[in-house]
Structure 1
Amino acid sequence: MPSMQLDSVRSLLRNFGLEADLRTQCIILAGILTAVLPLEIHHLVAMVLGAAGYMFLQKLEPTVRRREPQVKRRSSSDMEKKFQEKREVRVMKEVKKPSVVPVQAPKFQATGFDAEVKELLQNLQLTNTVRAQVDSITQRVKDLLLPIFQGSTTLEGYALANPLTGTAFGVAVPDVEIVVTSGSNAQVVGPEAAKYQKSLIRTCTDRLVTGGFKFRRSAFRGNEPKVTLISPPSPDGQAGIPFNLSVNAMTPSRAQRIFEACQRCPCAAELLLLERRWAKDRGISHAAKGHLSPYCWMLLGIYYLQEVGILEPGLGFLNSTPKTKSTMSSAELFKSFMRFYANFSWTEVVSVRGHRSKALPMRMVDGVAAPVIEDPFELGVDLANGMHSQSLQRLRDELRRSCELCARGASLAELLEPWVPPEE
C-alpha cells in the first residue's frame, strides 16, 4: 500500500513537471495524509511543529562530500622505494642498555703485540676438554630431539674456537653450532619449505627448553633461520655454553670444512681465529643486526690470503696443502689484514673461487659500494646482501679504527676492546 501511494505521488508530481527525491516525496505524502485524515487540531499542530523542527535540524548538519577511492597503479620503481623505506624503518639504532655482567676488555699476561697474539691464540684453540663438553651438549640435544623426528634424521655439532673464553657478544654470536638434518623437510618444496623449517625449529626449541636448556633469542629473517640457546650447567658447576640451533643449515659444515683445510697452513687458520674474534668483540659479526656473519669473515680472510699469495686462488686449498708458506707471523698477518680491507674499495666481488659469478653485480647502499661476498659452494649467492647503511658505516669505521691503532703500535687488548653502543 505505501509503495502504491508513493507511485501515485511520483506520477502526480511528474504531471506538474516536478522531480523530487525520495525524502521530498515522503514529506509531501505525509502532508497529504495529514490533510485528509480525521485528526484534532492540536494533533495537526504537533505534527507540523515536529516536521518543521526535523527539517531545521537537517539543515544544521554539515554536508560531507565523499570522494570515490582512486586506485593508483604503482610502478616497479615506486614499489622498490616503498620496500626500501619499510626496510629502513626496521633498522633500529643500537643503544646502550644496562647489563648485569658488564663487558670488559681482555687482559693478557704477556707483554707486546706479538706475545699477546700468541696468548690469545692459545686460549682460542679447541682442547680435548672443550671438545668433550661440546660433544656432551650435542649428545644431550640428540637424545631430546631425535625421538620427535620421523625418517632419517642426523644431528651434528660444530665448534671452531673455544667457547669458554668469555668473549664479548658470546651469546649473540656463539662459537658452537648444532644442526639438525631432517629428511622429512626434503618432501616440502616452494614457499612452504621455509615455513616448515621454522616450524621444526620452534618444535625443537620447545623440546629443549622443557629439557633444561635456556632460550635466548631467535633469528628467523636470514636464509638460515636459527635460535640461540644455553646448555644447562655442567655437574662441576661450570656455566652453560651458548650455541645456535638450526635445521638443515649448510653454513656450519661448510665453515668447518674451510677451517680444517686452513689448518694445513697454520698461519691461515690462526688469522681466521683472530679476525673472527676481533669482529665479534667489536660487534660487527652479528648477522641478525645486518652485519657480516662469522662465515663471511672467514671468506674475507681466505680472499686476503689468496691475494697476498699465501693460498692459491680457487678452491684447491680445500683438498691440498698450500704450496707457499708465509714468512710473516700471525700478528703481522693480522695487521696486514686490517690494512688490506681498510683500503678496500668494495667495488669488486669477494670470491674465493678464483672467478666470480657474472650474476653478482656491484651493490650500492645509499650511494656507497657495499660488500658482495660470494658463497664458494653456491655460485651466484651473495652472503652480504643483508647489510644496510648503518652496518656498512660501522664496518668502515671499525676497519679504519683498527688500522690506525695498528699503525701507532697499540696493544691487542686495546684493539679487542669490546664495542659498546652509544648512550640512548
Structure 2
Amino acid sequence: MAARLLNVSRMALQQFSILAKVASEDSILYKTAILRCCQGINNKCFLQSVRQITFINTQTSGSIWKSVTGVSNVGKKRGRARGSRRFVDLNKNRRLGEGQKGMQWPGLNAPIISRREGRVANKIQVLPPNPQKQEELIKLREQSMKKRARNKIPPLQRGWTGNKLPGTSIGYPDPVEDYTFEGFDTRVLEFKRVATMTGTLGRISRFSAFVVTGNGNGLAGYAIGKAPNGRSALRKAMNRAAQHLIYVDRYENRTVFHNFYIAFHKTRLFVEKKEQGYGLVCHRALKTICQKIGIQDLYCKVEGSSKNIQALTKAFFEGLQRQETHQELADRLSLHVIEYRPEMDNIPRVVATPMSNVREKREEGEEEVDFETLYYDGRLPLKKPKQKPFYFNYQSFRRKLKQDYRYRNQPDALQLRIVHGLQPDYEVNRPKPKPKMKQ
C-alpha cells in the first residue's frame, strides 16, 4: 500500500483525507472510502498516458507524397521538376475492408443481404486464404506506375512546333445531309484561349480555333470557331469552313497565274509564280494553306506583321480570288500573252490569244507592259543584294574574269546560230565513230 501511495497525485491525497475523516467513526464506511479512493487512483493516476494522434494519421497521403516529390516554383522554372519522383497510390486496386487476411465485411466488400440463400443477412466471417492476392496487387501497382506510351503521330501529320495543336490534322468536316466531304482534310492554323470581361458574370474564358479545310484540288475554305470547350471550338470552325468553300484557279494545277501584291491590315504579301519542281518557299501557315488548295510551286515574301495568322490567311485568299487568268489578260489588253521559261531555254510560247482584234501598235504615252510587275500596284519587294564571295577581290579571281570576258556571250550566240540553221548541232548530228579494225 505504501508503494502505491508514492505515485498518488495531490488531488488523490486530498480526496483520500476527506473520505478518511468522514469514515473514521464507522469501520464499514472506512473500508468503503478506501475502495473508492483506490478506484479513483487506478482510474486517474495509474493509467499510462498514450498519444492517440501521430504525424502519420494527421497528414494525408497526398501531403506526405508532396513533401517527397514537391518542387518549389523557383525550382520548376529552373527545370528541377523533370527528374522528380512520381506520386504512387499505395491504396490503388485495393477494396475497402480488405487486409492481409481475407475477411467478409457486410456493407464494405460484401452485400448486406445474400440473395442466394433467400435474403439472409450476411455475417462477418474469415474467408479462405488467397496466397496469390499480394502478387496480383504488386503486379497491378507496377502496371499503374508505368508511363503510358503516347500515340505516335506520323511526321507529315504533326504540328509546326512540338506537341502544339497548330499545324495538325483534325480530319474532314461532318457530312451535310447526303453530301460527305470525302478527300477533304482540315488543318489547325491557330488555337488559343480568349476571355471577355462582363459586368455580371465577370471574366468569361473560351477557346478560339482558326482552321482551313480543302481537298487539294482547288477547293478550300477557312473559318474561326469559339466555344467553352476546345473540341467544340475545333468542330465548329471545321464545319463552318466547309460551308464557306472557295474555288481557286491554278495555272497547270500547280501554281498561280501571275505575281501579285496584296495587303491586309499590317500584313503585306508578295507572291511569285515559280516553275515546276520549285516547291513551297513561304510562311508555314501559307504552306499549309497551299497544300489544302493544291498549289505546289510558289514563293511568297511576307513584309510587316508575320505573326497575325488570320491576316495572312485572309490576305492570301483575297489575292488568289483577285488573280487574272491569261485569257482574261489577253482580252483586256487585246494582246497576245507569250511565256518565256528558263527551263525551256526561254523559247517563246503563246499562252493566250484575245477573242477580239489584236492591237498591232502601242498607243502614244502608254507604258510598256511588264508581266512580272503588272500586278504589284507600283510596289516592289525588298530584295537584299547577294553578298559577294570572299575571293571576289583576289588578284587571281580578277585575272580569271579577264580571261573569260571574251567568251561572255558565246553560249547564247551558239544557241541562236543553231536555231536559225547557221551552224549544225553537233549533239544531234554527231558523226558516227569509225569501226575498229579486227586484228
TM-score (norm 1): 0.23
Name whichever structure is richer in helix by fraction.
1
Larger Rg: 2
Larger RCO: Structure 1 or Structure 2 (Cα < 8 Å, ≥ 6 residues apart)?
A: 1
TM-score, normalised relative to structure 2: 0.23
